[in-house]
Amino acid sequence: MTKKSTAEEQPQQTAKAGDGGIAVTGGIHAGRDVIMGDQYNDFRQQVARIETPAEFVAQLQALQRELAALKEQAGLPPQQAKEIEVVEENVQQALEEAQKPEPLGARITSTLSGAKGVMESLSGSVKAAVGLGAVLAQLIQVAFKLFG
């Protein structure tokens, strides 16, 4: 005996493109992971696996690329672009310190903390800043672990 589907049991599904996203009405069934919004889960997982100063340097360089892409975002007001440049400078200073033969952990963590503060101030107006601020927080913890 087979059951017949009725229109009442099957919700109507529609999708519209707008504002760079898709609005869906009706039922959504996800079989695995669902990522919503601007999330930097992969980047965070990579930061969590850092074990050596060389890996730390590589992640700071990856963060620099993310910041450069954020700064080039269409419609970004000049003031926010300048604030992202401040963060880029802080990350560059932390990178230079981490590459020294005897890096000062306190200098790295304080510089990254300053960058994190600026990213948090942007988080209300630049959605991607929230994720990068969280990445900076993780990098501060890793720097403390690696460099003291």
Residue 22 pairs with which residues in a beta bridge? 17
pLDDT digits (tens, 9 = 90+) for 10-39: 555 454 544 555 566 666 655 544 444 444
Write down the pTM of the prediction.
Answer: 0.69
What are the DSSP calls for 114-139, one per residue?
HHHHHHHHHTTT-HHHHHHHHHHHHH
Mark out the alpha helices in 11-77 (DSSP H runs). Answer: 41-48, 53-71
Cα Rg of the chain, angstroms: 21
End-to-end Cα separation, the chain, in angstroms: 69
Q: pLDDT tens digits, residue range 66-116?
A: 899 888 887 888 898 899 999 999 999 999 999 999 999 999 999 999 999
Burial of 65 (0-12, 13-18, 19+ CB in 10 A): exposed
Picking from 41, 42, 37, the residue whose alpha carbon sits closest to that of residue 19 is: 37
